[in-house]
Structure 1
Amino acid sequence: MELEKLLKKYFGYSTFKTGQKEVISAIINGEHTLAMLPTGTGKSLCYQLPGYIFEGQILIISPLLSLMQDQVEQMKRLGEKRVVALNSFLSHQEKEEVLRVLNKYKFIFISPEMLRVPYIIKRLQGLSLSLFVVDEAHCISQWGYDFRPDYSKLGEIRKLLGSPLTLALTATATVKVRQDIIQSLGLTKVTKVESTIDRPNIAFYVEEIADYRDKEKRILALVNELQKPGIIYFSSKKAAEHMADLLANELNFRSSVYHGGLEQDTRILIQQQFIHNQLDIICATSAFGMGVNKGNIRFVIHYHMPMQMESYLQEIGRAGRDGAPSIAILLYSPGDEQLPIQLAEAELPSEQQIDWLFSRPDFNQMTSDRAFVLSETLKELGGFNEVQGRIIEELVNRSNQEISSLQLKEFVKGFTKKRLQAKRNHIFQMKQWVEVKNCRRKYIMEYFDDRLATDVNLCCDRCGLDLTHFHSANAHQLLDAGDGTWIEYLRKLLFNSEMSK
């Protein structure tokens, strides 16, 4: 079978990108496969092409609604009509209709939360699954940077579905996380396709800024100077909204904000506007990331320090998918690491919350049930957010039912303590990268047990990188005009912005 002919026939490409052919060949040969391919190298092709070879359905588990919707829309634009996403975007009536004719679909995208519904599992068991795909597979591992409790159940789900041929895909996973993925999914005799994580066309630049006021000024100057389009990442919804307003209303840039607090329809609209060149700048939280398939993003700026190297590479990986030079800029102020530490602590139940929960008679009664679900009343009384609640549920259901309540409490505390320490270590490693005196790219490669294959000319600020390589022609004209008009306007804008706070 000549894969290049099929590639040309179904997708219009003449050659495969890094790692694609190796992954597809392994899948076609019936080998369970773990693929770690760089962001932007077309991981979705690794299950789409086998779908046109295999007789049965391809089930793709995906962690983000926006990621699913983007993949479905892309496939439909390429002419594939037998594709559907089973998620909360569907109304009850639409979901019932899809499930009624589920065997008519070739590619079925589904959220891990949907796999918790027994009726949906039953409908999936009635299909002839040729391939079980776990996208963003690092979400499985409790040591991964983006652990999702629902992902940890995928090994059990896979068994319920008859242990089909499996493909696990990720762009950023350490050796430990990769081992955890294989073990959690219950895979044996796994073929590993582990390409370099390096994207040589993305340069790294870290700039130390005194405080957030100076950061705002620097963002405005950078956006004016740099080639566009671009993304600016924030850890705060409020900060993202404020900057989007500044850029759009005061400086007249085509910018918008994207975060998890927006309505689903609004998020889809903004994403589509950006992809179709109706917006030049997105001010976003980490909710905007996976699945954004736009080739010509020229810059990614981080206003806040990310929580770990893995998510940082995921986010900057949005840039330069067309292969052209792009820049990743991180603005750091002393003490910036405190915010990610606070966010990490907020993702996990505290010792006080765990002690309170286990002291409740109604909680101890609920844990005797076959499947434990934390009630809305206890969530509200104990101050548990959605993520904390799911972690509690997962840990209680994962534990041995024969252990005592005290042992169960200590098990939950032990997990959260280890998880928090792992997150703190990730933050410390990210800060080390900010402060490193040598090549930033080399540090990243060593972190992932990888090695540079070739020298990179436009590498990083530690290797003498000059940001003017990434300036736009329009920015040069404005800044080189010599009359000071633009600079004076920028100063007035920033002064007025600060006075209004």
Structure 2
Amino acid sequence: MELEDLLNKYFGYTAFKTGQKEVISALLNGENTLAMLPTGTGKSLCYQLPGYIFKGHILIISPLLSLMQDQVDQMKRFGEKRVVALNSFLTHIEKEQVLNVLNQYKFIFISPEMLQVPYIIKKLQSLSISLFVIDEAHCISQWGYDFRPDYSKLGEIRKSLCNPLTLALTATATVNVRQDIIQSLGLSKVTKVESTIDRPNIGFYVEEIADYRDKERRVLELVDRLPKPGIVYFSSKKAAEQMAELLSYQQNYRSSVYHGGLEQDSRILIQQQFIHNQLDVICATSAFGMGVNKENIRFVIHFHMPMQIESYLQEIGRAGRDGNPSIAILLYSPGDELLPIQLAEAELPSDQQLDWLFNRTDFAIRTNNRGFKLTNTLKELGGFSDVQWRIVEDLLNRPIQDTSSLQQIKEMLQDFTKKRLKAKKNNIFRMKQWIDTKFCRRQFILEYFNDRLITEVNPCCDRCGLDIRNYHSAEDRPQVELLEVTWMDYLRKLLTNSELSK
């Protein structure tokens, strides 16, 4: 049976989207595959369709609980009952029930943190895993914009599961990050499917705004004029909350806020309300994005400057999945780059924190030469954030040479944080270059990813003559100016005719 016939049989589609067929064909040929496909092109189908062909189980590692849950719910709505998510949403009893009948599930979604539990690994080792899938694979690379220590251990996990056929999926990874993914997973032979990251139907628009208050006013104005639904991204939870309130109470829009500080149930509820058209606008931090499978998002506004081009591309990729024109607007005020620099510094443990930690005698006791005594008390006393502490735990729980002194180990940790901070600052600098460029914004992004323009877009950005008013709601488009143009054309015609009559 042809792949198109299987596509129609299981999903009701008649044609594949960009890159899907190439990825599926490679997997069916038994080839480990790294797929870089643009957001909105249906990466999940790349493992779901082979899942109906392969006899064994499909194990999908996913970084976000909300993303995992959304994909599970989606598959169930399409009639697939043999799907489950192993994550912290399950109670202890529910988890035990699932694990007791794990062999009955065809598609098993799991968080990378759950894969660190020996009992879970033992259960998975008893299964015949036909495909090992890593979603958002850029999280593997320490140079990727969303590096997660638990993702970096997936190569070891894969090895413990007898190196099953592997699919690594991402939408935003530079050449270096892609190579890092391959090495980290221990893939000796890999088929690469690297489609263009370009989304021709999304226009780019950067607008310089004087200050914070003017930005607030401009967001209210844009939301009022642009067709809904849309997303407004912030780097601050408080700013997102304030804007959601302004949109709700001042302009009477159905808006809500989404960030990592909300309870899991609240986040899922808000995400589902947005997907099912019960909300017009979401004011969100970067916690909102992956797994939001909504086709008709018409605009994405960035209130604050993103920390890197990769995350910016990931976030604006929520828009225009139906193929219709959409707009990505970034509002910039002089000095905005200081906030992402502060956030980058706050993500990593400082030298002062590491000095304090290594001077604690209760910490500096190695256990079997494999690590140190790490407790939540030390985390709290040292003022470490969750992200900082995860980095410390990951580096200090790795096997340590017997001959390594405490000073050498501390210097190793400090060296890692310095390199990581330098990489982050370079990313911020490149994002600022994109904001300041006098040339085509789309071309800048394509060159950053070693990509090239395939579909001509004109005008594609504010540097190429894009007029944001053309994205306004139909009733709010500049009819007066269109009439003026028509009138000017008429005058030119009269003048031309009079010249010809002479």
Normalised-by-shorter TM-score class = over 0.9
Contact 1:137 1:170 in 2 (8 A): yes
What is the identity, as a one-letter code, of the residue corresponding to 1:322? D
Residue 38, structure 1, aligned to residue 41, structure 2 = no
Aligned residue in 1 for 2:181: 181
- 5 Å matches for 1:391-470? 391-398=391-398, 400-402=400-402, 403-470=404-471
Q: Does the 8 A contact of 1:298 with 1:326 survive in 2? A: yes
Q: Could you tell me which residue of structure 2 aligns to residue 258 of structure 1? A: 258
Number of residue pairs aligned between Structure 1 and Structure 2: 480
**Secondary structure, aligned partner of 2:168:** strand
Q: For 2:37 and 2:373, how far apart are their aligned partners in 1?
A: 36
Q: Following TM superposition, by how much is the alpha carbon of 1:476 offset from its aligned partner in structure 2, in angstroms?
A: 4.8
Q: Distance in 2 between matches of 1:6 and 1:352?
A: 59
Deviation (angstroms), 1:104: 0.5
2: distance between equivalents of 1:474 and 1:293? 28
> How much has 1:479 moved relative to structure 2?
11
SS of the residue corresponding to residue 39 of structure 1 reads coil
Q: Is the 8 A contact 2:370 2:400 kept in 1?
A: no
Return the alpha-carbon distance in structure 1 between the equivalents of residues 372 and 16 of structure 2. 46
Task: Provide the rounded CA distance (Å) in 2 between the counterparts of 1:251 and 1:372.
Answer: 55
Q: Using the alignment, how far apart are the partners of 2:334 and 2:53 within structure 1?
A: 54
Contact 1:399 1:408 in 2 (8 A): no
For residue 397 of structure 1, report the CA deviation from its aligned partner: 2.7
- Find the counterpart in structure 1 of residue 119 from structure 2: 119
Shift in Å, 1:475: 3.8
Superposed CA offset, 1:382-409 (max 9, x none): 1111111111111123353332211111
Note if 1:331 corresponds to 2:326. Answer: no
Q: 1:431 to 1:477 in 2, by over 3 A?
A: closer
Q: Deviations over 1:11-63 (max 9, x none)?
A: 00000000000000001111000000000000000000000000110000000
Deviations 1:180-227 (A, max 9, x none): 000000011100000011001100000000000000000000001111
User: Counterparts of 2:102 and 2:476 in 1: how far apart (Å)?
Assistant: 52
CA distance in 1, matches of 2:43, 2:400: 37
Q: CA deviation at 1:372?
A: 5.0
Letter in structure 2 aligned against 1:54: F
SS of match in other structure, 2:362: helix
What does 1:188-267 correspond to in 2, within 5 Å?
A: 188-267=188-267
Q: Shift in Å at residue 474 of structure 1? A: 4.3
How far apart are the structure 2 equivalents of 1:478 and 1:107? 53
Letter matched to residue 337 of structure 2: E
**Residue pair 1:173, 1:310 contacting (<8 A) in 2 also:** yes
In structure 2, what is the equivalent of residue 365 of structure 1? 365
Partner of 2:355: 355
Q: Any runs of at least 4 consecutive aligned residues in structure 1 with deviations exceeding 6 A, and if so which?
A: 477-480
After TM superposition, the structure 1 stretch with the greater mean CA deviation from structure 2, 301-310 or 406-415, is 406-415
The TM-score with structure 2 as length reference comes to 0.94
Amino acid at match of 2:287: A
How far residue 165 of structure 1 moved from its aligned partner, in angstroms, is: 0.5
Q: Give the whole-Å Cα distance in 2 for the aligned partners of 1:325 and 1:476.
A: 15
The residue identity in structure 2 corresponding to 1:348 is L
Partner of 2:311, secondary structure, is: helix
- Report how far residue 368 of structure 1 moved: 4.4
Take 2:291 and 2:179, find their aligned partners in 1: how far apart are those partners?
25
Partner of 1:328: helix, strand, or coil? Answer: strand
Letter of the 2:196 partner, please give it: T
Report the residue type matching 1:86 in the other structure.
L
- 1:373 and 1:426, CA in 2 relative to 1: closer, same or farther beyond 3 A? farther
Normalization by structure 1: what TM-score?
Answer: 0.94
C-alpha contact 2:371 2:398 (8 A) present in aligned 1: no
How far has the Cα of 1:364 moved from its partner? 1.5
**Aligned residue for 2:100?**
100
Q: Which has the larger radius of gyration?
A: 2
Question: Aligned ranges for residues 128-139 of structure 1 at < 5 Å?
Answer: 128-139=128-139
Residue of structure 1 in register with 2:53 after alignment: 53
Structure 2: distance between partners of 1:308 and 1:174: 12
Which secondary structure does the structure 1 equivalent of 2:34 belong to? strand
Preserved contact between residue 363 and residue 373 of structure 2 (Cα < 8 Å)? no
CA contact (8 A) 1:374 1:389 kept: no
Residue 458 of structure 1: CA displacement? Answer: 3.6
**What secondary structure, in the 3-state scheme, does the structure 1 residue paired with 2:204 have?**
strand
CA pair 192-364 structure 1, distance change in 2 beyond 3 A: same
Greater shift, 344-353 or 392-401, is seen at 392-401
Instruction: Deviation per CA, 1:86-129: give whole Å up to 9, x if none.
Output: 11111111111111111100000000111111111111111110
Which structure 2 residues correspond to residues 280-359 of structure 1 after superposition, within 5 A? 280-359=280-359
AA at the equivalent of 2:463? R
- CA offsets, 1:336-359, max 9 Å, x none? 011111111111100111111111
Query: SS of 1:365's equivalent?
Result: coil
Q: Which residue is 1:162 aligned to?
A: 162
Aligned pair in 2 of structure 1 residues 354, 178: CA closer, same or farther (>3 Å)?
A: same
Secondary structure of 2:363 counterpart? helix
2:433 corresponds to which letter in structure 1?
A: Q
8 Å CA contact retained: 1:367, 1:396: no
Q: Which residue identity is paired with 1:460?
A: C
Question: Does the 8 Å contact 2:298/2:325 carry over to 1?
Answer: yes
Cross-structure match for 1:272: 272
Cα distance in 2 for residues equivalent to 1:254 and 1:3 = 42
Moved more, 432-441 or 363-372: 363-372
Distance 1:134 1:216, change over 3 A: same
Aligned partner letter, 1:455: E
Identical pairs, percent: 78
